[in-house]
Structure 1
Amino acid sequence: MSEFHQNPETSNWFGRKSDSIEYWHQASISVNDLQIDSNTENPKVGILGYAGEEGVNRNQGRLGTIAGPKSIRNMMGSLAFHLPEKTRIFDYGDVITVNSDMESSHNLITDTVKSLLETNHFPILLGGGHDLALAHAKGIYDFLKPKNERLGIINLDAHFDLRPLVNGKGHSGSPFYQLAEEFGDDFQYLCLGIQRSTNPKSLFDTAESTGTKWMVMEDFRLNNWEVIQEKILWFLDSVDKIYLTVDMDGFASAFAPGVSAPSPMGFEPEFAFKVFELIASTKKLISMDVVELNPNYDIDNCTSRLAARCAEYVARKVFS
């Protein structure tokens, strides 16, 4: 067992009791020591937490995301289970950071994501800082490379997260910059919900130079759905597989106060879920994460509940 891994805690999953599997906590199976289930007969979800905030710390964000995975699991357990009857939910515990060694944490995440995809899991990663996206995406790239398939990354976020390294090190604001540097023309990135007030002009310049596609928050609204739908479908048509990453700070703070960088001007859950449904309907979505939940600033677990609903809804649509 790696020093950068913690086994899952069954106590994180709880909810209403019933004689049959009716809730997520009843369908979840805790697996120790990252012993990835290799049975390919039944559909399955692989949950991996990233209990890390070193990237947030390096990016001068509010600390607390380390507790994000536990809070999301706590809220997921009581959700009604509507996945196919034989679907299993495997909880593989959390990747942690030891002595600020974020890079070793990332290596373990990358290897685990690749293994989950190779064994027919739909990975759902729970953050943790958005630096998770670097490790998560690299695992998918590694999986797709032998297949010669093109990956597209869709990020619902208030920020591009295309900032340069700090003192030569990555952080929660740099994952997509690092991916662009490493993968060049294979880096296909669509960012939805960008807020001009939190992204200086230099980041828009970086977005241009890396071939990033985006929609600013003023355009990312329900009354503009036909344009949004066309842009997303065009992007989906240009790639073979999709990785979806959902930064909770993209939601308006009225719905998601418990984040590292809250904003009153984000998108609403109902609209985000419409986007999720569109992406999942193509059957190209193969992995997702939910990041930047900060329970220290949450109110009545509303952000944790929303993060859990995001994961549950996407999984339901992927397996429908």
Structure 2
Amino acid sequence: MKSFLYPKLNPPSFTWVRPEKGGTISKVHEWIEPLTAESDPAKCKDADVVVVGVPLSRSSISASGASEYPDAFRRMWKGFTTYNLDEDVDLTELTVLDAGDVPMHVTDIPRCHENIIQASEAIHRTFTASKVCAIGGDHSITAMMVKGLHKAKPDQKIGILQFDTHFDLRDLADNGPSNGTPMRNLIESGVVEGSNIYNIGLHGFFNTKDLKEYADKHGVNYITLGRARKKGIVETVKGCLEELSAKVDLIYMTVDMDCLDIAYAPGVPASTPGGMTTAELLDSVLTAAKHPKLNAMDIVCLDPLKDTTVQTTVKLGTHVFLTYLTGVATRK
């Protein structure tokens, strides 16, 4: 059932049968509303959160099935309730819409990226007061989602809060707009200033020295995981948000699931030892989501095809999303 956002967005790849009107809602799959042909734009525009799937992974440096995550993500909703026991928050206080998936071309990656930019712009222009959450897809989608946001709100300065094992500052001349270049793409396109990017979670032997030198040259702020742990993960996130909010109008959070230790997230294309624990990432996301300027985010580089049989990483990615919504709900 094509919504008013078609052809910028296709219908969700998977939808659940929802309860009858007036029925009890206690599970996530009963609560999130898919946009359909019957959806009224005037009634939808005040949604608290809009979710969009971005099923692209052909632009990944390493072999990746991250394009399968939007579908796996929706199928995982049935395993979660809308009530967060830790925070005593019921997410049904929020109106959350599933806008569907950005259409992708089979072989033309630049066309896929342009589709993401156009879809992001359309969403931000339509849902001006809503938080937007993109479900990737590899990390190349972040640059395109932010470019679309910039087109929709050109007068607002954007900052980036990045949870990642990598700088993602590889040379565009060598790598193109891949999952290794989104932050450099944003800097060199003039959409985001290097000094307005804050990366938490870098560690180990997974970045080259020239990327650090590029980060230093362009003023990128980065906090290694070791330094963050010494200061405290939550305090580190709070400090980054305080600095960012003083410089920008909007904060975009990107969660690359490879920031996690391989023991916690085996289902990522570039899993590494020594990364964040589940608790550290969830605490970080909740802290960030409570900030009033953080109005868009994405979850990227989660590969269901590399996950365990019990879908450890898919479950964790869904938990990250619901934790973000918990932070949004506490603002109200």
Return the TM-score normalized by structure 2: 0.84
Q: Deviations over 1:106-145 (max 9, x none)?
A: 2222222223223233211111110010111112212321
CA RMSD of aligned residues (A): 2.8
| Counterparts of 2:122 and 2:182, CA distance in 1 | 21
- Is 1:155 paired with 2:162? yes
The structure-2 alpha-carbon separation of the partners of 1:87 and 1:249, relative to structure 1 and needing over 3 Å to count, comes to same
Q: Deviations over 1:134-175 (max 9, x none)?
A: 111112212321xx3221111100011111125573111111
Could you tell me which residue of structure 1 aligns to residue 280 of structure 2? 271
| Counterparts of 1:169 and 1:294, CA distance in 2 | 21
The structure-2 alpha-carbon separation of the partners of 1:84 and 1:11, relative to structure 1 and needing over 3 Å to count, comes to closer
Could you tell me which residue of structure 1 aligns to residue 307 of structure 2? 298
Aligned-partner residue type, residue 170 of structure 1: P
Q: Deviations over 1:209-261 (max 9, x none)?
A: 22210011221226534455434422333222110110011011111000010
Could you tell me which residue of structure 2 aligns to residue 7 of structure 1? 11
Could you tell me which residue of structure 1 aligns to residue 87 of structure 2? none
Aligned residues: 313
Instruction: For residue 102 of structure 1, report the CA deviation from its aligned partner.
Output: 1.9
| Counterparts of 1:315 and 1:63, CA distance in 2 | 27
| Counterparts of 1:250 and 1:265, CA distance in 2 | 9
Aligned-partner residue type, residue 311 of structure 2: N
The alignment partner of 2:64 has SS state of: coil
Contact 1:64 1:295 in 2 (8 A): yes
Aligned-partner residue type, residue 126 of structure 1: I
| Counterparts of 2:81 and 2:191, CA distance in 1 | 42
- Taking the TM superposition and a 5 Å limit, the aligned residue runs for 1:156-305 are 156-166=163-173, 169-183=176-190, 186-187=193-194, 188-221=196-229, 224-225=232-233, 226=235, 229-299=238-308, 300-305=310-315
| Counterparts of 2:306 and 2:24, CA distance in 1 | 36
Contact 1:4 1:105 in 2 (8 A): no
| Counterparts of 1:115 and 1:36, CA distance in 2 | 16
Match of 2:32 among 6, 25, 28: 28
Could you tell me which residue of structure 1 aligns to residue 323 of structure 2? 313
The structure-2 alpha-carbon separation of the partners of 1:193 and 1:12, relative to structure 1 and needing over 3 Å to count, comes to farther
Range with bigger deviation, 128-137 or 97-106: 97-106
Could you tell me which residue of structure 1 aligns to residue 68 of structure 2? 67
Instruction: For residue 44 of structure 1, report the CA deviation from its aligned partner.
Output: 3.0
| Counterparts of 1:304 and 1:207, CA distance in 2 | 31
Could you tell me which residue of structure 2 aligns to residue 99 of structure 1? 106
Contact 1:153 1:189 in 2 (8 A): yes
Could you tell me which residue of structure 2 aligns to residue 131 of structure 1? 140
Structure 1: any 5+ residue segments left out of the alignment? none
Instruction: For residue 205 of structure 1, report the CA deviation from its aligned partner.
Output: 1.0
| Counterparts of 1:168 and 1:190, CA distance in 2 | 22
Aligned-partner residue type, residue 156 of structure 1: F
Range with bigger deviation, 226-235 or 93-102: 226-235
Range with bigger deviation, 157-166 or 89-98: 89-98
| Counterparts of 1:66 and 1:168, CA distance in 2 | 19
The alignment partner of 1:55 has SS state of: coil
Return the TM-score normalized by structure 1: 0.87
Structure 2: any 5+ residue segments left out of the alignment? 84-89
The alignment partner of 2:96 has SS state of: strand
The structure-2 alpha-carbon separation of the partners of 1:7 and 1:40, relative to structure 1 and needing over 3 Å to count, comes to closer
The structure-2 alpha-carbon separation of the partners of 1:53 and 1:227, relative to structure 1 and needing over 3 Å to count, comes to closer
| Counterparts of 1:268 and 1:247, CA distance in 2 | 13
Q: Deviations over 1:43-66 (max 9, x none)?
A: 33211111111111xx2x122112
Range with bigger deviation, 220-229 or 21-30: 220-229
Aligned-partner residue type, residue 142 of structure 1: K
Contact 1:222 1:271 in 2 (8 A): no
Instruction: For residue 207 of structure 1, report the CA deviation from its aligned partner.
Output: 0.9
